[in-house]
């Protein structure tokens, strides 16, 4: 099958500060015939995630930077539409990291068949994918969550934070979330059952507001933001508290080094554990996670939201929207 019109998004130049539409280019390229052992995949859904911002900088990190003038990549769900590989029949759904394009050819080594599930396929990019696994791992393994803990979650309405909040509630914890709008605050309180919510954009004193919301202090902080959030959390943490550092979105678009919190001495005084983690190092536990999370979803004890943009051409806008609060829950692009 020869596909003449295959659209993909290339990184045209490296963003300085907040990414802009002109950093990206929509390119049309043909797709060749598949060879022996190969399959042709049509992408149905693609993910945009905050970590991708770091890959747009030309620097050494835990994952290679994106190349200029080349197609970007990221998590996606596709369907095999032509196959010369007996391991993948036509019509089978697969998860992979070749997003930001409509079609691609694979030898199958980079494809993971989706498990049979009544849950919609795009959930494997969100609640049943990397964000859900990040929430599960960071809270339970890194944060060493215990029943009765007081938990604070920043970026609490996002793809990761919203799942952290719900797992913590399921485990019998008191949960406080930080968000950037009243609409998101209502979502946390009325749909997710979070005990208290801070709208940080309206806060005059984040430490004071956090102390009021957490009258018994904080035992576990799930860190997605950094900056003022980390400083406030350090002030309110209890002795022997645990901080799982998932991300620091406050810094992702910084054009110069950002000063750290002024109160890092609290780590010593309060005997805190502060640990960063990359979820891919914990992927051996993914089957256990999928089984547990799938059960929670089907029981109705975990819910999830998606913010969906339509068409490959909208992918840059969706990505930029991650940094301006345009998403509640998982940000997705529906292709085709």
Residue 220 lies in a domain: yes
DSSP string across 205-266:
-HHHHHHHH-TT-EEEEEESS-THHHHHHHHHEEEEEEEEE---GGGTT-SSPPPPPTTTTH
CATH number for position 45 = 3.90.180.10
- pLDDT tens column, 159-199: 999 999 999 999 999 999 999 999 999 999 999 999 999 99
pLDDT (tens digit per residue) in 240-253:
999 999 999 989 89
Do 274 and 139 share a structural domain? yes
Among residues 280, 295, 320, the one where a domain terminates is: 280
In a domain, 300, yes or no: no
CA distances from 3 to 6, 105, 217, 314 (A): 7, 11, 58, 21
Looking at every residue in the chain, the average pLDDT score rounds to 96
Rounded (5°) CA angle 131-133-258: 55
Paired strand residues for 125: none
Indicate if the pLDDT at residue 4 is higher than 80: no
**Residue 241: closest CA among 195, 210, 284, 272:** 272
Read off the pLDDT band of 23 (50, 70, 90): very high
| 121 and 134 in a common domain | no
Task: Please tell me the predicted confidence (pLDDT) of residue 3.
Answer: 79
Domain membership of residue 292 (yes or no) is no
Tracing tokens 């400083």 back to the chain, one arrives at 231
Q: Is residue 59 part of a domain?
A: yes
For residues 229 and 329, state if they share a domain: no
Are both 110 and 144 inside the same structural domain?
no
Indicate whether 233 belongs to any domain. yes
Residue 238 to residues 206, 214, 217, 221: CA-CA distances in angstroms? 17, 10, 6, 10
- Between the two ends of the chain, the Cα-to-Cα distance in Å is 17
Same domain, 66 and 98: yes
169 and 204 belong to one structural domain: yes
Closest CA to 195 of 229, 224, 156, 159: 156
User: Do 93 and 74 belong together in one domain?
Assistant: yes
Write down which residue in 236, 265, 280 finishes a domain: 280
Asked whether residue 294 is assigned to any structural domain, the reply reads no
14 and 37 inside one domain: yes
- Specify the 3-state DSSP secondary structure of 6: strand
Would the pTM count as exceeding 0.85? yes
Residues 20 and 116 in one domain: yes
Domain membership of residue 114 (yes or no) is yes
User: pLDDT value at position 62?
Assistant: 85
Strand 174-179 to 150-153 pairing: parallel
Residue 128 has pLDDT above 90, yes or no: yes
Domain annotation covers residue 159: yes
Give the E-state strand segments of 14-172 in sequence order.
Answer: 24-31, 39-47, 76-83, 93-96, 103-106, 112-113, 150-153
Residues 115 and 160 in one domain: no
Please tell me the total count of domains within the chain: 2
The pLDDT > 90 percentage for the chain reads 92
Residue that is last in its domain, among 242, 263, 280 = 280
Instruction: Note the pLDDT of residue 115.
Output: 86
pLDDT on residue 254: 87
**Residues 6 or more apart whose Cβ sits within 8 Å of residue 144:** 220, 242, 273
Domain interval for residue 205: 130-280
What's the alpha-carbon Rg for the chain, to the nearest Å? 21
Residues 273 and 137 reside in one and the same domain: yes
Mean pLDDT of 206-229: 98
CATH code for position 267: 3.40.50.720
Question: pLDDT tens-digit profile of 35-68?
Answer: 999 999 999 999 999 999 999 999 988 889 999 9
Exposed/middle/buried for residue 109 (C-beta within 10 Å: 0-12, 13-18, 19+): exposed
The answer to whether residues 46 and 13 belong to one domain is: yes
């Amino acid at each position: 099958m020869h596909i003449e019109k295959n659209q993909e998004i290339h990184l045209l130049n490296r963003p300085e500060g907040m990414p802009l539409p002109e950093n990206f280019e929509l390119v049309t390229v043909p797709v060749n015939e598949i060879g022996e052992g190969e399959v042709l995949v049509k992408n149905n859904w693609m993910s945009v995630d905050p970590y991708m911002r770091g890959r747009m900088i030309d620097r050494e990190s835990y994952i290679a930077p994106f190349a200029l003038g080349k197609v970007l990549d990221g998590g996606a769900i596709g369907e095999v539409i032509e196959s010369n590989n007996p391991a993948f029949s036509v019509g089978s759904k697969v998860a992979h990291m070749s997003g930001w394009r409509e079609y691609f050819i694979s030898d199958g080594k980079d494809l993971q068949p989706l498990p049979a599930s009544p849950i919609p396929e795009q959930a494997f990019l969100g609640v049943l994918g990397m964000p859900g696994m990040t929430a599960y791992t960071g809270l339970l393994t890194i944060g060493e969550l215990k029943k009765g803990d007081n938990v604070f979650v920043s970026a609490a309405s996002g793809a990761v934070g919203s799942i952290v909040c719900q797992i913590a509630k399921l485990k019998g914890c008191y949960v406080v979330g930080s968000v950037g709008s009243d609409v998101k605050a209502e979502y946390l309180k009325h749909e997710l059952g979070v005990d208290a919510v801070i709208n940080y954009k309206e806060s005059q004193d984040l430490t004071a507001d956090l102390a009021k919301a957490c009258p018994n202090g904080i035992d576990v902080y799930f860190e997605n933001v950094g900056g003022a959030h980390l400083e406030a959390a350090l002030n309110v943490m209890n002795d022997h508290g645990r901080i799982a550092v998932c991300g620091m979105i406050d810094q992702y678009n910084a054009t110069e080094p950002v000063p750290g919190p002024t109160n890092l001495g609290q780590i010593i005084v309060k005997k805190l554990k502060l640990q960063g983690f990359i979820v891919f190092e914990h992927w051996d536990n993914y089957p256990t996670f999928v089984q547990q999370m799938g059960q929670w979803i089907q029981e109705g004890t975990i819910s999830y939201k998606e913010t969906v943009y339509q068409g490959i051409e909208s992918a840059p806008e969706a990505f930029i929207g991650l940094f301006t609060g345009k998403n509640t829950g998982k940000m997705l692009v529906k292709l085709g």
